[in-house]
């Protein structure tokens, strides 16, 4: 069995390195080959162009958005024209549900199997090989691919028909976004009213207001550290997907709409390179406060 991996970014690099645990031959490709030497030192092959990866039996993709996945898989210089019947493509990216269905349909027309398997977990979990992945596609295909998913994920869920993985990931992401937007709105208010930010954070993270978002971001915000997670400018695609589903299926999502407004305000303020904790900058500026721990000299 020969494996391929396209996209060696923040998450993909570690996922691909963990795939080496399978003992199978691995060929990797990235538009920016800065990490190629590390893969070559560990016995993987590196590709000069996307189509070189098409020789693999199973090809994994970890790419930033729907447009890039379409270009890599279906584009003029992409995989599709070099693929053969019986190959498998597993997309671990987070992309639109409708795009996932279209890619699956086009690959099926040339006899190529497709599974959406977006992952959840930050870079540290990608390094550890402890990601969560949610899979959509044929049951038999899932069973065939699962041993390789186990190289970088320790929670692997079969969600059902094609696209189900993306829908499940979207639900998780939207709840996460809502949680972070709530922190961004409420925490600056506590400082404005004279409360100690560290003590407020301790109460939230030991009380009923806690969430994964609060446990991860409150310590980072207190330190003024906003570069430890996925940049907001890239993560915004999840909110766009949520809005599309809301509009097309007439599903009211008022809380999501409010969170999206906070997100948009952060992007318009030029905070898109920050992780989601950076949304707090919107309300800090409005209230003219900073939710930070005291500096040592204070």
Q: How far apart are CA 73 and CA 113, in angstroms?
A: 12
Q: Which helix (H) or strand (E) holds 3?
A: strand 2-6
- Go through 181-215 and write b for each residue having 16 or more CB atoms within 10 A of its CB, e for each that does not: bbbbbebbebbeeeeebeebbeebeeeeeebebbe
Q: How far apart are CA 88 and CA 159, in angstroms?
A: 18
- Go through 246-285 and write b for each residue having 16 or more CB atoms within 10 A of its CB, e for each that does not: beeeeeebeebeebbebbebbbeeebbebbbbbbbbbbbe
Q: How far apart are CA 224 and CA 220, in angstroms?
A: 6
| Three-point CA angle 152, 62, 80, nearest 5° | 125
If 0-12 CB within 10 Å is exposed, 13-18 middle and 19+ buried, where does residue 296 land?
exposed
- Cβ contact 231:274 at 8 Å: yes
- Cβ contact 100:160 at 8 Å: no
Residues involved in catalysis? 169
CA 5 to centroid of chain Cα atoms: 16
């Amino acid at each position: 069995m020969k494996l391929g991996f396209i996209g060696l970014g923040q998450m993909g690099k570690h996922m691909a390195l963990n795939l080496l645990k399978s003992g199978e031959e691995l060929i990797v490709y990235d538009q920016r080959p800065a990490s190629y030497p590390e893969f070559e030192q560990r016995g993987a092959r590196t590709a000069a162009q996307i189509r070189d990866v098409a020789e693999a039996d199973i090809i994994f993709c970890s790419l930033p958005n729907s447009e890039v996945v379409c270009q890599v898989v279906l584009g003029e210089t992409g995989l599709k024209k070099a693929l053969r019947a019986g190959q498998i493509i597993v997309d671990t990216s987070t992309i639109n549900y409708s795009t996932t269905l279209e890619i699956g349909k086009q690959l099926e027309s040339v006899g190529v199997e497709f599974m959406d398997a977006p992952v959840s977990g930050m870079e540290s979990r990608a390094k550890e090989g402890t990601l969560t992945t949610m899979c959509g596609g044929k049951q038999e295909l899932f069973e065939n691919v699962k041993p390789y998913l186990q190289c970088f994920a320790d929670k692997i869920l079969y969600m059902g028909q094609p696209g189900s993985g993306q829908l499940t990931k979207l639900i998780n992401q939207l709840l996460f976004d809502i949680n972070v937007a709530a922190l961004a709105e409420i925490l600056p208010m506590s400082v404005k009213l004279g409360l100690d930010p560290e003590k407020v954070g301790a109460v939230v993270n030991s009380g009923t207001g806690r969430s994964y978002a609060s446990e991860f971001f409150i310590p980072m915000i207190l330190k003024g550290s906003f570069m430890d997670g996925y940049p907001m400018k890239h993560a915004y695609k999840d909110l766009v997907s949520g809005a599309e589903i809301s509009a097309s299926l007439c599903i009211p999502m008022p809380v999501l709409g409010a969170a999206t407004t906070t997100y948009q305000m952060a992007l318009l303020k030029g905070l898109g390179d920050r992780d989601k904790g950076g949304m707090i900058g919107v309300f800090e500026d409005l209230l003219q406060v900073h939710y930070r721990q005291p500096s040592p000299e204070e």
